[in-house]
Amino acid sequence: MAARIKKDDTVIVISGKYKGRTGKVIQMLPKKAQCIVEKVNVVKRHQKAKGANQPAGIIEKALPIDLSKVMPFDETKKTGTRVQFVGAGEKKTRKLVKSGKTLAA
């Protein structure tokens, strides 16, 4: 099944604590139906030192957010929009419903 949201897409959070915030998708977790969005759902965690490359201390970490709570962000309309698939077979492209703009592969 084709993904409506992919890595490096700009999304807007449509429900929950971070409603209205926008950010870029850093990582997709398709088996859990979640994604990690930049500057959304960031928490502080105490971390033990794990060698020289990871020092001990309090770090900020982005946690996953459910895909049902995010929607692709349309820059021209400044709002969230649905995604439509155009084309058939191998040449499917994603298109924003509100503005008609095609998204990157």
Average pLDDT of the chain is 92
Per-residue confidence (pLDDT) for residue 105, from 0 to 100: 64
Domains (ranges, CATH) in the chain? 10-77 (2.30.30.30)
Provide the pLDDT for residue 4: 92
DSSP string, the chain: ---SS-TT-EEEE-SSTTTT-EEEEEEEETTTTEEEETTSSEEEEEE---SSSS-SEEEEEEPPEEGGGEEEEETTTTEE--EEEESSGGG-EEEETTT-PBPP-
Q: How confident is the model at residue 3 (pLDDT cuts 50, 70, 90)?
A: confident
Q: What is the pLDDT of residues 60-84, one digit of tens each?
A: 999 999 999 999 999 999 999 999 9
Each residue of 36-67: pLDDT tens digit? 999 999 999 999 998 888 889 999 999 999 99
